[in-house]
Amino acid sequence: MIEFSTHPDQYKHWKLSFDGPVATLSMDVAEDGGMVPGYDLKLNSYDLGVDIELHDAIQRLRFEHPEVKSVIMTSAKDRVFCAGANISMLGTSSHAHKVNFCKFTNETRNGIEDATKYSEQRYICLINGTAAGGGYELALAADYIMLIDDGSSTVSLPEVPLLAVLPGTGGLTRGVDKRHVRRDRADFFCTLTEGIKGKRAVEWDLVDELVPRSKLMQTAIERARQFAENSSRPDDAKGVQLTPLGRQVKDDEIAYRYLTAKFDRAGATAEVTLLGPDKEPEKDAAAIHAAGVDFWPFAFARELDDFILHMRANEPEISTWVVRASGNADLVEAADQALLDNSGDWLVREITLYLKRTLKRLDISSRSIVTLIEPGSCFTGTLMEFVLAADRSFMLDGGFEGSNLPAACLRPTGMNFGPLPMCNDLTRLETRFLGGGDELQAIKDKIGEDLDALEAEELGLVTFAPDDIDWQDEVRIAIEERASLSTDALTGMEASLRFAGPETLETKIFGRLSAWQNWIFQRPNAVGEEGALKLYGTGKQSNFDKKRV
């Protein structure tokens, strides 16, 4: 089982150090520290295990170290920054693992960009040796890139000429969209195996600054301190420790405090239940700080994040998630209001951003999502986002025969109108009603109100609102139909439909992962017996099928 939780005491591949407002995150990959046997992580090449540690470090820098305003990413090895994703690992991994690996590494790099943009924790990448492929893609996630000027160190994206695949963690898109590298120059750069160094790397906007070896770290620290002066992160606040999650994993069940899931393996389905707060949530910033990871939105975000990653990596055949919510709607609304009322506090800001990132992870997971709003449900505010994120939703009109549970309802809160945008920079409501100002305003006018099934259907919040007579059959048919369809086709369909509206860096990257990279990773030119990934490092020449298709 792939485990996504770790701690700096357990790191094999990264080292964290602190100097006031500046943290240094040094990559020092253990060659013999791969997740599975069969390859060596030479030259700071990485596998999923290396990126799991990086993700953990980024989270801890945000939550446990509010005083850190700048982060220097560099290598602890001499004359090499990072050789990118380990080729032997890619060559021997399953297709699903390769795609999930690329998706997680992109999300981790998005986390770096999110910290820079929204948490005012700016990342500087100090390339102190060669940065190839995923190594340069890691640098591209930073806000500022420094390259050692030693006459030999280069940056490169050699995946196309060497491996017959693409820079799978967003290298092409970040190059032209983020760093504004000219298309013709990018074309040359991405077919040049040896990379680009020195002044040309600066002139072409591949890096921001050249630094001689003798002044490398000194200059990086100077830049980091300059950037830190413009950050509003507090100087003397106390961080919140990310303690281990309580989780129970059984053959057909996984349980956290605020989330449970039971698996129907024959039906390829997970029955997921989201649980609201079990007590009155904290209302002011001081109380939220005191509660720390026990504050419901924080605890829920951490559990949901872990659950999504666990399911992606360890339960690939559970293709449909059927989601219910249980709890007290008033308590969920109170927790949402606490986030909104204290949005200026650094910790509350981080918790809200964490919820945003985790729900984005839900959006881009290649799983069908069906929500069931039943009597006693608690799809309020933050939890109502699951209804809006679903591919299809059913809300019972009325009650079940013989049940005394209150009728199903939805309750919007302010959290549905801005703090939790998707990858397209629109809220899920804005994405649902593109250009629909009147529809959005009609729902906004209902903030804090309980909406029954017919009203929710009229407002466009649910797909169907069957009554008790039709409920069981309609839900059953929808889920069974989903299980009968091609999972590949569903992944492509869902990814195409979920992100209506404008393109962003994120939607481009994940759209291409779901389509181009997904396809290229299965082509014989890459993974066939004479493909580049199979033959890399053997000295043999790949035999490419030359047809364009």
pLDDT tens digits, one per residue of 437-473? 899 999 999 999 999 999 999 999 999 999 999 999 9
Residue 548 reports pLDDT greater than 90? no
pLDDT 10s digits, 163-177: 999 998 899 999 999
**What's the whole-number mean pLDDT along residues 60-83?**
97
Interaxial angle between packed helices 505-512 and 95-118, expressed in degrees from 0 to 180 and rounded to the nearest 10: 170
**pLDDT tier at 502, thresholds 50, 70, 90:** very high
Residue 318 reports pLDDT greater than 90? yes
b/e sequence 210-229, b meaning 16+ C-beta within 10 Å: bbeeeebeebbbebbeebbe
**What's the whole-number mean pLDDT along residues 82-90?**
95
**pLDDT tier at 506, thresholds 50, 70, 90:** very high
Residue 25 reports pLDDT greater than 80? yes
**What's the whole-number mean pLDDT along residues 64-76?**
98
The verdict on pTM exceeding 0.85 is yes
**pLDDT tier at 140, thresholds 50, 70, 90:** very high
Q: Does residue 312 contact residue 259 with C-beta atoms inside 8 Å? A: no
Rounded CA separation 335/321 (Å): 25
What separation in angstroms does the CA of 318 have from each of 358, 368, 379? 19, 10, 23
Per-residue pLDDT at 512:
82
pLDDT 10s digits, 248-303: 999 999 999 999 999 999 999 999 999 999 999 999 999 999 999 999 999 999 99
Same fold for the pair 8-228 and 248-491: yes
What separation in angstroms does the CA of 117 have from each of 69, 114, 161, 339, 532? 12, 5, 34, 19, 37
Q: Which fold has domain 8-228?
A: 2-enoyl-CoA Hydratase; Chain A, domain 1 (3.90.226)
Domain boundaries, the chain: 8-228, 248-491
**What's the whole-number mean pLDDT along residues 100-126?**
97
Side chain identity at residue 212, one-letter code? P
Residue 220 reports pLDDT greater than 80? yes
Name the CATH superfamily, with its identifier, for domain 248-491.
Answer: 2-enoyl-CoA Hydratase; Chain A, domain 1 (3.90.226.10)
- The secondary structure element, H or E, covering residue 346 is helix 346-363
Average pLDDT, the chain: 95
117 vs 549, higher pLDDT: 117
Interaxial angle between packed helices 48-63 and 95-118, expressed in degrees from 0 to 180 and rounded to the nearest 10: 20
pLDDT 10s digits, 514-530: 777 788 888 999 989 99
Residue 455, SS3 per DSSP: helix
Per-residue pLDDT at 130:
96
